[in-house]
Structure 1
């Protein structure tokens, strides 16, 4: 029994030592990522457009005789199922930075980058924004990858809409890592 305890203690200690990474172990020769900003206020406008083809469909939400189909990063397709044998696309709700939606009662709640937008569902033909909470949640200010160097985010430059590899940045000048 004491041998087993000694072995487990030594093995656990080795695991802990291996988990520590010193400052000098980061590969600063790798190409860092930089944020892509968008400071255009129209980025946060929800628009109601003519129907269009689904390119990257996702979850479905129901409201009465209607189904809303997610289009990742773009918005929602409005589909009428009043005649279940012949569904018909009625409109597309363009929502830049769209990630999630929910329906409660007569309201549709959607994400528009870091804003929460409320849309009244009383009629899909006269849909309009009913409310907005700016910066309802915090967007990630780091790339969606681990083990990478990246330029630290500066939210004063606008909303981060993407991350890209940057050949213009020297890995040694980049201070942030994940």
Structure 2
């Protein structure tokens, strides 16, 4: 019985290995190309707004706060959803935050990145978040997906002075 088990395990492992794509060690790995999405700082700072609910399409992190879900829409903002009845979650609002990929909460304060800025919102009224503070250049600039870096041709020195990276578009 033990031999049969070992044989089956060996065959399973071999079959699994044949399903893996072969990588030739001499070939470079080709990563997708991206272009930064830029926004003028003055536009970025005016773009934060509470909007009506909208469809989820490129979601990121999910944060649970009391009876609400906060769901990140990568590079665009945060969906606010009333989850009082988990069988029927009810969209409440969309908090537009260009360049947002992360959120955290402490008490009634929501902290969210917006490009390289850190925003603080008072969330005591989840249906009407209130921006109370913006700390410019508080977090690292949004890196390009897959590489985690900003290529030299797109770094701050090589683009308009007031341009902020708010996302990356796959080419």
Deviations 1:132-164 (A, max 9, x none): 111112316889658x77365326242134678
- Root mean square deviation of aligned Cα: 3.0
- The aligned residue for residue 22 of structure 2 is none
Verify: 1:159 aligned to 2:161, yes or no: no
Residue number among 120, 123, 130 corresponding to 1:128 in the alignment: 130
Partner of 2:161, secondary structure, is helix
Residue number among 89, 92, 98 corresponding to 1:90 in the alignment: 92
Distance in 1 separating the partners of 2:162 and 2:106: 35
The residue correspondences of 1:76-87 to structure 2 (distance < 5 A) are 76-87=78-89
Partner of 1:156, secondary structure, is coil
Deviations 1:33-72 (A, max 9, x none): 8766432512233211000110011221011110101111
> What displacement does 1:78 show?
0.5
Q: Which has the higher contact order (CA 8 A, sep 6+)?
A: 1
Distance in 2 separating the partners of 1:71 and 1:81: 18
Distance 1:162 1:60, change over 3 A: closer
Give the TM-score, by structure 1 length: 0.62
Distance in 2 separating the partners of 1:62 and 1:53: 19
Distance in 2 separating the partners of 1:75 and 1:131: 16
Distance in 1 separating the partners of 2:69 and 2:142: 30
Verify: 1:150 aligned to 2:153, yes or no: yes
Q: Which of these two proteins has the greater Rg computed from alpha carbons?
A: 1
Contact 1:51-1:77 at 8 Å conserved across structures = yes
Distance in 1 separating the partners of 2:169 and 2:61: 27
Contact 1:142-1:153 at 8 Å conserved across structures = no
> What displacement does 1:117 show?
0.3
Distance in 2 separating the partners of 1:143 and 1:86: 34
